[in-house]
């Protein structure tokens, strides 16, 4: 008797989102085949609406039905959300708010964003430093300025416009994401750099305290604290110095784009967002790139590598995730100027070849 299939929910979203997820399909089918032949569990795929596409259809960026399907999945793979068509909507109906609500509803507080040099990528930095660049950014994803209350906008009695956002963290929110960073560092090069603005922000001082306490439980992992502004300089000058970067939500958003700039292949960055229980959320770091949409030119590497992370963290198949990452490298090395769809098909072929060699 076979076990129930794994459940994967695809949320294509907006802009290039649908294309890059379509390019994952051939890869997904091949991985599903491998999983089924080794453990009797194939991957069952469903698809739902999020972001602007959901606004157009249902009037809301995160429909109830999408959330219900996400909650009952083992993994959610998202394309991208947002675009100029929805820029003028009120904040809670914007596509981005659908993504933020989904992250929060799934409780995926730890966002893992690995960045390494990929074949064929052209970093604006010196090759001798980027050649050794291999960083894992661990970003707190469900707290801080993105979700803090109160938040509002108003017009004062003097007629001036004003706005308020709140940054708030409690120690448990910090502790649980720090634990993820230290556990990851233990399996890597054993170094955590915690990023904050402790010379100015109360939240950062608490962050520093709690991270230092967690470090005491990981004697084999070294910990440095670095201010976020000086981290940006050091990342550009000596990116090879870092192993695991641990940050709060907004700093992590900014630094992960910087990592994309350093590797010079922003479209190839992937991410996994994990919580204490329930499905992980996997998404490329890139945005919806409306100017590229519908032209079959977007590189789907970030989406495919996000699916590779799902293999590792959701489907219990880290080896298949690894073959997949290597297959993406193969295709990037060929540098054949493939379109989005052909890139996915070629990756599936490479994956098939690699997994056959390794598994026979």
Q: Tokens 């959320």, residue?
A: 281
**How many residues form the binding site for ligand IPM (CB under 6 A)?**
7
197 is catalytic: yes
**Contacts of ligand IPM in 85-124 (CB under 6 A):** 96, 99-100
Q: How far is the CB of 285 from ligand IPM (least distance, A)?
A: 6
Beta strands in 127-176 (DSSP E): 134-140, 152-155, 161-164
- Closest by Cα among 317, 312, 303 to 347: 303
Q: How far is the CB of 250 from ligand IPM (least distance, A)?
A: 8
User: Distance (Å, rounded) from C-alpha 177 to C-alpha 216?
Assistant: 15
Q: Which two tokens stand for residue 199?
A: 């010379």
Q: Which does 99 bind (CB under 5 to 8 A by kind): ligand IPM, Mg ion, none?
A: ligand IPM
Q: Which does 96 bind (CB under 5 to 8 A by kind): Mg ion, ligand IPM, none?
A: ligand IPM
Q: Which two tokens stand for residue 16?
A: 């290039």
Q: Running DSSP on this structure, what letter comes out for residue 8?
A: E
One symbol per residue from 223 to 262: x for binding Mg ion (CB under 5 A), - otherwise; what is it?
A: ------------------------------x---------
Rounded to the nearest 5°, which phi and psi values hold at 112?
-100, 120
The sheet with strand 134-140 has its strands ordered as: 43-47, 6-13, 75-80, 280-284, 270-274, 110-116, 134-140, 244-247, 191-196, 222-227
220 is catalytic: no
User: Distance (Å, rounded) from C-alpha 112 to C-alpha 141?
Assistant: 10
Strand partners, 185: none
Closer to Mg ion at the Cβ: 85 or 254?
254
187 is catalytic: no
Closer to ligand IPM at the Cβ: 79 or 82?
82
Closer to ligand IPM at the Cβ: 82 or 321?
82
One symbol per residue from 228 to 257: x for binding ligand IPM (CB under 6 A), - otherwise; what is it?
A: -------------------------x--x-
Q: How far is the CB of 299 from ligand IPM (least distance, A)?
A: 17
Residue closest to ligand IPM (Cβ):
96
CA distances from 18 to 146, 155, 285 (A): 26, 40, 15
b/e 252-271 (16+ beta carbons within 10 angstroms → b): bbebbeebbebbbbbbbbbb
**Contacts of ligand IPM in 272-291 (CB under 6 A):** 285
Closer to Mg ion at the Cβ: 286 or 346?
286
Helix or strand or coil: residue 268? helix
229 is catalytic: yes
Residue closest to Mg ion (Cβ):
253
Q: Which does 9 bind (CB under 5 to 8 A by kind): Mg ion, ligand IPM, none?
A: none
Which uninterrupted H or E stretch holds 311?
A: helix 301-313
Closer to ligand IPM at the Cβ: 2 or 91?
91
CA distances from 233 to 189, 207, 355 (A): 22, 21, 41
Choose the catalytic residue: 87, 170, 224, 229: 229
| Residues that bind ligand IPM in the complex, under the rule CB under 6 A | 82, 96, 99-100, 253, 256, 285
| Residues that bind Mg ion in the complex, under the rule CB under 5 A | 253
Catalytic residues: 146, 197, 229, 253, 257
């Amino acid at each position: 008797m076979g076990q129930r299939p794994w459940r994967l929910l695809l949320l294509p979203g907006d802009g290039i989102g649908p294309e890059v997820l379509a390019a994952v399909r051939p890869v997904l089918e091949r991985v599903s085949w491998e999983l089924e032949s080794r453990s009797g569990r194939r991957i069952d795929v469903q698809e739902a609406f999020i972001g602007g596409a959901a606004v157009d259809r249902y009037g809301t960026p995160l429909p109830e039905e999408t959330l219900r399907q996400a909650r009952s999945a083992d993994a959610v793979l998202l394309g991208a959300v947002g675009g100029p068509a929805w820029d003028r909507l009120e904040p809670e109906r914007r596509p981005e708010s659908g993504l933020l609500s989904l992250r929060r509803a799934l409780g995926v507080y730890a966002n893992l964003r690995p960045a390494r040099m990929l074949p064929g990528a052209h970093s604006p930095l010196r090759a001798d430093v980027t050649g050794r660049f291999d960083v894992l950014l661990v970003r707190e994803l469900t707290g801080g300025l993105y979700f803090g209350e109160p938040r509002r906008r108003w017009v004062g009695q003097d007629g001036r416009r004003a706005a308020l956002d709140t940054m708030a963290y409690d120690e448990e929110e910090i502790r649980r994401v720090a634990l993820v960073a230290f556990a990851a560092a233990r399996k890597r090069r054993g170094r955590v750099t915690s990023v904050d603005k402790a010379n100015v922000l109360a939240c950062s001082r608490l962050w520093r305290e709690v991270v230092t306490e967690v470090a005491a439980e990981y004697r084999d992992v070294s910990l440095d604290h670095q201010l976020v502004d000086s981290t940006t300089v050091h990342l550009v000058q000596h990116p090879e110095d870092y192993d695991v970067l641990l940050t709060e939500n907004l700093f992590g958003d900014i630094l992960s784009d910087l990592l994309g700039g350093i590797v010079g292949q922003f479209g190839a960055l992937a991410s996994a967002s994990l919580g204490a229980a329930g499905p992980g959320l996997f998404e490329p770091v890139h945005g919806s790139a409306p100017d590229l949409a519908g032209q079959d030119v977007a590189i789907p590497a970030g989406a495919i590598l996000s699916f590779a992370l799902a293999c590792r963290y959701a489907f219990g198949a880290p080896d298949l995730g690894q073959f997949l990452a290597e297959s993406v490298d193969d295709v990037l090395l060929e540098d054949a100027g493939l379109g989005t769809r052909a890139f996915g098909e070629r990756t599936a072929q490479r994956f098939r070849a690699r997994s056959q060699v390794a598994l026979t």
